[in-house]
């Protein structure tokens, strides 16, 4: 892979990363943006600038830079959702072997997805959290002086998964961090972060990748057409695009579910839609969120076909799923497609809020039925 992730950064993201050496560094910041996006990349570059301490940015050669790059710097602490049994000791937090697993995972996944971390932990159906014991350990860790650099940095992935006690434990630390402390929270769902935490953070939005398809062509050796499809399906999230690319079989299941939904909705068959919602409700929240996200991309592809653009839609990647996408678009109207997008996006919000999946999906399916 020769293409650098820097090519994916838009100007605002670059400016934020550079502010680590050129401007004021706030104590607590919350980066938000899409999962599988550029948030981790930005946070790690920013951290490297801070730990290196060179006035013109990280030198990439000193011990600070090398260890920050390897995620082994003693003044950098990573925190992330895990199985609560992995952080039993209150003063240590996440145990050493879990940190080892996370480093391994993070090195293989520059744009990490929660579902992939869950798989890496072999914890598919279990819920991963940041419990109070970990929050306590973070507070203790911050209370000592830096060892190697002039700063200590915490990168905490998904503050939306701090349990209530953990969030309360961290509030005071976030409010008055010592001068040598920088805390970076990485959130994909800031609406679910406790308001009292949000209000203590400077918020920074990290936009989706720019020119992702070109980057995919250069780094993955795939065709322009395939890269453009992946960019569209992933809404320019490199992590999702790479996941779709490496795991086509994983993509077949949600694509098939989308095709079923479209068919039953077109046939105006509420009974079939109810059965469909029932079977979908057995999927995990992560899978449902991914399905709904992907469905938005699939619908956009149908829209482009409808407008006469010529390309090979993703449905054709799966000969087992018989679906004549081009013909099907004749059954859709532009107004209705906008309604469908709205239904999908509302359902995403409701699934994230942990509402009853079957009810949410059936509601959405009926909405989509009415849009034909
Ligand atoms: Zn350096």
Ligand 1 centroid from CA 328, angstroms: 56
- For residue 11, the model assigns a pLDDT of 95
Looking at the structure, tell me whether residues 188 and 240 fall in a common domain. no
Looking at the structure, tell me whether residues 16 and 144 fall in a common domain. yes
Among candidate residues 205, 220, 237, the one where a domain is terminated: 205
Ligand 1 centroid from CA 292, angstroms: 42
Among candidate residues 223, 246, 269, the one where a domain is terminated: 246
Looking at the structure, tell me whether residues 215 and 130 fall in a common domain. no
Cα radius of gyration (the chain)? 22
Among candidate residues 180, 205, 230, the one where a domain is terminated: 205
| Ion ligand 1: residue ranges with CB closer than 5 A | 52, 59, 62, 64-65
Looking at the structure, tell me whether residues 159 and 271 fall in a common domain. no
Ligand 1 centroid from CA 68, angstroms: 9
Looking at the structure, tell me whether residues 177 and 40 fall in a common domain. yes
- 22 contact partners, CB below 8 Å, separation of at least 6: none
Ligand 1 centroid from CA 337, angstroms: 51
CATH number of the domain where residue 341 is located: 1.20.272
Domain that holds residue 10: 5-205
Ligand 1 centroid from CA 57, angstroms: 8
Relative to beta strand 202-205, strand 181-187 is: unpaired
- For residue 89, the model assigns a pLDDT of 82
Q: Tens digits of per-residue pLDDT, 58-116? A: 999 999 999 999 999 999 999 999 998 988 888 899 999 999 999 999 999 999 999 89
Ligand 1 centroid from CA 207, angstroms: 27
Ligand 1 centroid from CA 30, angstroms: 24
Domains of the chain: total:
3
What's phi and psi for 155, nearest 5 deg? -110, 120
Looking at the structure, tell me whether residues 267 and 187 fall in a common domain. no
Within 13 Å of residue 178, how many CA atoms lie on the same side as its CB? 15
Ligand 1 centroid from CA 182, angstroms: 18
Looking at the structure, tell me whether residues 193 and 257 fall in a common domain. no
Looking at the structure, tell me whether residues 163 and 225 fall in a common domain. no
Ligand 1 centroid from CA 48, angstroms: 7
Ligand 1 centroid from CA 44, angstroms: 13
- For residue 91, the model assigns a pLDDT of 85
- For residue 1, the model assigns a pLDDT of 41
Ligand 1 centroid from CA 67, angstroms: 9
Q: Tens digits of per-residue pLDDT, 168-184? A: 999 988 888 888 999 99
Look up the pTM and report it. 0.87
Please tell me the distance from the alpha carbon of residue 37 to that of residue 34, in angstroms, as a whole number: 5
Ligand 1 centroid from CA 233, angstroms: 37
CATH number of the domain where residue 201 is located: 3.40.50.300
Please tell me the distance from the alpha carbon of residue 372 to that of residue 276, in angstroms, as a whole number: 18
Ligand 1 centroid from CA 96, angstroms: 26
Looking at the structure, tell me whether residues 306 and 242 fall in a common domain. no
Ligand 1 centroid from CA 174, angstroms: 27
Q: Which two tokens stand for residue 206?
A: 């990290």
Ligand 1 centroid from CA 66, angstroms: 7
Residues in the chain predicted with pLDDT less than 50, given as ranges, are 1
- For residue 368, the model assigns a pLDDT of 97
Looking at the structure, tell me whether residues 14 and 153 fall in a common domain. yes
Ligand 1 centroid from CA 129, angstroms: 33
- 94 phi-psi bin (left φ>0, alpha ψ -120 to 50, beta other): beta
Ligand 1 centroid from CA 143, angstroms: 25
CB 76 within 8 A of CB 51: yes
Ligand 1 centroid from CA 107, angstroms: 19
Looking at the structure, tell me whether residues 273 and 238 fall in a common domain. no
Looking at the structure, tell me whether residues 114 and 27 fall in a common domain. yes
- For residue 310, the model assigns a pLDDT of 83
- 260 contact partners, CB below 8 Å, separation of at least 6: 276
- 284 contact partners, CB below 8 Å, separation of at least 6: 124, 125
- For residue 23, the model assigns a pLDDT of 74
Ligand 1 centroid from CA 106, angstroms: 21
Ligand 1 centroid from CA 156, angstroms: 22
């Amino acid at each position: 892979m020769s293409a650098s992730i820097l090519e994916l950064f838009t100007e605002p993201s670059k400016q934020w990363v550079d502010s680590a050496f050129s401007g004021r560094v706030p104590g607590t910041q919350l980066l938000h943006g899409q999962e599988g996006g550029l948030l981790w990349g930005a946070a790690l570059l920013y951290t490297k600038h801070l730990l290196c301490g060179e006035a013109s940015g990280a030198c990439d050669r000193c011990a600070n830079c090398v260890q920050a790059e390897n995620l082994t710097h003693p003044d950098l602490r990573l925190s992330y959702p895990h199985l609560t049994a992995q952080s039993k000791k209150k003063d240590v937090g996440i145990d050493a072997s879990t940190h080892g697993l996370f480093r391994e995972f993070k090195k293989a996944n520059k744009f990490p997805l929660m579902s992939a971390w869950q798989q890496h932990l072999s914890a598919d159906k279990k819920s991963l959290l940041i419990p109070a014991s970990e929050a306590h350990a973070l507070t203790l860790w911050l209370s000592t002086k830096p060892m190697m650099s002039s700063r200590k940095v915490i990168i905490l992935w998904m503050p939306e998964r701090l349990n209530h006690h953990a969030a309360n434990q961290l509030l005071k630390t976030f409010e008055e961090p010592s001068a040598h402390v920088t805390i970076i929270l990485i959130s994909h769902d800031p609406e679910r972060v406790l308001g009292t935490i949000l209000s203590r953070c400077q918020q920074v939005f990290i936009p989706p990748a720019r020119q992702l398809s070109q980057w995919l062509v250069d780094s993955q050796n795939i065709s322009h057409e395939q890269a453009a499809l992946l960019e569209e399906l992933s809404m320019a999230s490199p992590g999702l695009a790479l996941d779709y690319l490496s795991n086509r079989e994983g993509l077949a299941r949600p694509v098939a579910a989308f095709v079923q939904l479209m068919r039953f909705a077109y046939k105006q068959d509420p009974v079939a839609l109810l059965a469909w919602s029932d079977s979908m409700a057995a999927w995990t929240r992560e899978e449902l969120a991914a399905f709904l996200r992907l469905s938005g991309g699939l619908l956009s592809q149908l829209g482009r076909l409808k407008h006469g653009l010529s390309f090979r839609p993703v449905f054709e990647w799966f000969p087992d799923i018989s679906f004549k996408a081009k013909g099907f678009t004749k059954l859709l109207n532009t107004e209705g497609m906008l309604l469908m997008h709205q239904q999908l996006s509302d359902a995403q919000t409701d699934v994230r809020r942990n509402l009853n999946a079957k009810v949410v999906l059936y509601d959405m399916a009926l909405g989509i039925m009415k849009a034909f």
